[in-house]
Amino acid sequence: MITLNRDATVPLQEQLVARLRYLIASGHWKSGETLPSTRVLARQLGISFHTVRKAYQQLEREGLLISRAGKGFTVTQRIPLTKSERLEQGASIVHEAMQQLIGLGLQESEIEYLVQEQLSLLKTGKDDYFLVVAESLELGELYARQLEMAFHDALEYTSIERVQDYPDVNYILAPFTLLPQLNVSSHVEKAGFLTHLPPEIIEAAVSLLSDQTLGLITRDPASIPPLTAAIRHQSGFQGQMVALALQDASTPLQRVVAQVDLLFYTPSTRKHLRVRPTGQKQLVLKPIVAPASVEYLRQHVPA
């Protein structure tokens, strides 16, 4: 959806401003909708959140966005330009673009071809909008970060419960087990991928005795069922498991940590683990998108 060219002479901030203007003008973000937070968009694009904030502030000065304390940047109701104003500003943009194209050595026929090609893309909506879907937002983010290597671009992600919040999506990537559960319109293409646990996680679970307890700490409650199922299925562990989601924690975290012999935790919960009981092993649990799936998607999904 948003691609920045780090090799271009145009600064990243200017590229981002231009792309955001287009997405707002084309209706991807409508009046009243809130844009991703500066830190979320910065992480997705692999740039500084200061760059994103400056881009948002530029659009705020232009009247496209409005910022509210604690609520981020929201698309405003624009006062449409008159026809003469639109043509005047448009002519200036086209003139500058033509100068750059001529500077590259393009001939008139080549420029005309490029213009017609871009117009056809606008008409057909050929620009695919990809969305990574998982059981939880937490897992969606983990999978999206890994799948980005196949698409060479930042990918949006969500949980299966919130797929309907993305009506413009036309390509969904999700674990194979979730594909039958996706209730989306017929025009949406779907592609699945396989995941597995890291070898050190499986090895640690296998080493537990039947009377020992395994603990799991996640950020999202929805992460617990698929991760516990994966641990039992891939390691064969049948002993007692205790799981806690920080977003829905009725039991103190340290109490759970103190009563288990082996603790797995997802990356987003690392900073909350401050105490390690003597002799207890703690490992980060980060599900892996199978390399074969990444390669398959790279070859078969339009990127």
Neighbours of 281 (CB within 10 A): 13
Torsion, Cα 291 204 278 258, to 10 degrees, reads: 90
- 267: three-class secondary structure by DSSP: helix
Q: pLDDT digits over 215-259, tens only?
A: 999 999 999 999 999 999 999 999 999 999 998 777 788 888 999
Strand partners, 282: 263
pLDDT digits (tens, 9 = 90+) for 12-69: 999 999 889 888 887 778 888 889 889 888 888 889 989 999 999 999 988 899 988 7
The pLDDT tens digits for 141-200 are: 999 989 987 776 678 889 999 888 887 788 899 999 999 999 887 788 999 999 999 999
pLDDT tops 60 at residue 123 = no
Answer yes or no: CATH 1.10.287 is held by domain 130-194+292-300. no
- Give the Cα separation of 165 and 158 in Å (integer): 9
pLDDT digits (tens, 9 = 90+) for 45-56: 889 989 999 999
Options 3.40.1260.10, 1.10.460.10, 3.90.1150.10, 1.10.10.10; CATH for 12-75 is 1.10.10.10
Q: Which residues contact 179 (CB under 8 A, 6 or more apart)?
A: 190, 192
Task: List the one residue out of 235, 241, 232, 226 whose CA is nearest residue 207.
Answer: 235
Alpha-carbon span 2 to 156, nearest angstrom: 10
Distance CA 285, CA 64 (A): 41
**At CA 49, angle to CA 174 and CA 155, rounded to 5?**
15
Alpha helices (H) along the chain: 12-25, 38-45, 49-61, 83-103, 108-124, 137-151, 199-207, 224-235, 253-258, 291-300
Rounded to whole angstroms, how far apart are CA atoms 218 and 161? 18
What is the chain's mean pLDDT, rounded? 87
DSSP string, 27-51: TSS-TTPBPPPHHHHHHHHTS-HHH
